[in-house]
């Protein structure tokens, strides 16, 4: 059975060791080493489109390749400053999940939580990245906790964020990512109604053809992950809901 490691990154840059939320930071030095590691050891870095084909269309059972998908949540400006130049060097595809109501602004939901709110990608940079092959998905309009919201708010966050990004980018937005990994039945139904092809959670593990495409698990790469930790994450198979989902 095809297994795909969908890796979850948030901020890439130069950071001192964070006291909290370590899974939302990756030092550029480590990121460079991780991307080189994938190349040296023959991992196949594929896009989300290719991953969905490998999971749900291709004949199952014969695939021995180790597929990896790179995803970046929240659309931080440091993606273009730090991560993208490294991705380009290796020609790796990647998907960035944008908060559609905060394009060109700051990560307000972090400020609301008393945390530092970094700059988010602006529209011109997003368009330039798209021209360079980066895929964008929706991460809602305002990055709320989706569970427990009323239907019209869910509609705005899940359906309107899709159409608003489609207007900005001039192409279909096929992928959704649940903020803080939170979802329930009403949320997933709204994601289905919106017409997304796939949606990504913070549930931990490798994605397989047994997974609902609207509930794909991922593997969070944390600030503290050495290359040994990285290797372990690439090869872990268990699927387990996180005790405390990444909250950025």
Residues lying near Zn ion in the complex (CB under 5 A): 73-74, 179
Q: Taking the complex as a whole, how short is the minimal distance between the CB of residue 205 and Zn ion, in angstroms?
A: 19
- Coil/strand/helix, residue 110: helix
* Structural contact between residues 108 and 102, judged by C-beta atoms closer than 8 angstroms: yes
Neighbours of 14 (CB within 10 A): 10
Q: Taking the complex as a whole, how short is the minimal distance between the CB of residue 74 and Zn ion, in angstroms?
A: 4
- Helix 161-169, helix 123-131: angle, nearest 10: 70
Helices (H), strands (E): how many in the chain? 10, 11
- The residue whose Cβ lies closest to Zn ion is 73
Q: Taking the complex as a whole, how short is the minimal distance between the CB of residue 136 and Zn ion, in angstroms?
A: 14
CA distances from 29 to 15, 46, 224, 227 (A): 10, 22, 12, 11
Q: With respect to Zn ion, which residue has the nearer C-beta, 23 or 54? A: 23
Residue with tokens 């053809």: 209
CA distances from 213 to 29, 49, 99, 197, 200 (A): 33, 12, 21, 7, 8
Q: Taking the complex as a whole, how short is the minimal distance between the CB of residue 143 and Zn ion, in angstroms?
A: 6
Q: Taking the complex as a whole, how short is the minimal distance between the CB of residue 246 and Zn ion, in angstroms?
A: 7
Q: With respect to Zn ion, which residue has the nearer C-beta, 235 or 241? A: 241
Q: With respect to Zn ion, which residue has the nearer C-beta, 67 or 223? A: 223
Q: With respect to Zn ion, which residue has the nearer C-beta, 31 or 178? A: 178
Q: With respect to Zn ion, which residue has the nearer C-beta, 54 or 126? A: 126
* CA–CA distance, 239 with 28 (Å, rounded to integer): 28
* CA–CA distance, 123 with 133 (Å, rounded to integer): 15
Q: Taking the complex as a whole, how short is the minimal distance between the CB of residue 24 and Zn ion, in angstroms?
A: 8
Q: With respect to Zn ion, which residue has the nearer C-beta, 178 or 230? A: 178
Structure tokens at 202: 């913070």
């Amino acid at each position: 059975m095809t297994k795909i490691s969908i890796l979850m990154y948030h901020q890439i840059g130069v950071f001192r060791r964070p006291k909290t939320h370590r899974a939302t930071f990756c030092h550029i030095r480590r990121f460079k080493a991780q991307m080189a590691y994938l190349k040296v050891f023959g991992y196949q870095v594929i896009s989300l489109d290719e991953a969905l084909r490998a999971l749900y269309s291709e004949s199952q059972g014969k695939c021995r390749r180790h597929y990896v998908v790179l995803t970046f949540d929240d659309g931080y400006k440091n993606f273009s400053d730090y991560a993208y130049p490294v991705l380009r060097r290796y020609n790796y595809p990647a998907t960035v999940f944008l908060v559609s109501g905060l394009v060109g602004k700051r990560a307000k939901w972090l400020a609301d939580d008393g945390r530092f709110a970094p700059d988010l990608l602006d529209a011109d940079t997003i368009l330039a990245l798209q021209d360079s092959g980066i895929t964008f998905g929706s991460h809602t309009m305002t990055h709320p906790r989706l569970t427990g919201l009323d239907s019209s708010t869910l509609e705005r966050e899940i359906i309107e964020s899709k159409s608003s990004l489609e207007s900005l980018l001039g192409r279909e937005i096929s992928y959704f990512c649940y903020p803080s990994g939170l979802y329930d039945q009403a949320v997933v139904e709204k994601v289905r109604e919106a017409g997304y092809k796939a949606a990504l959670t913070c549930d931990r593990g490798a994605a397989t053809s047994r997974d609902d495409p609207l509930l794909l698990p991922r593997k969070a790469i944390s600030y503290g992950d050495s290359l040994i930790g990285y290797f372990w994450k690439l090869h872990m198979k268990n699927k387990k809901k996180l005790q405390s989902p990444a909250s950025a």
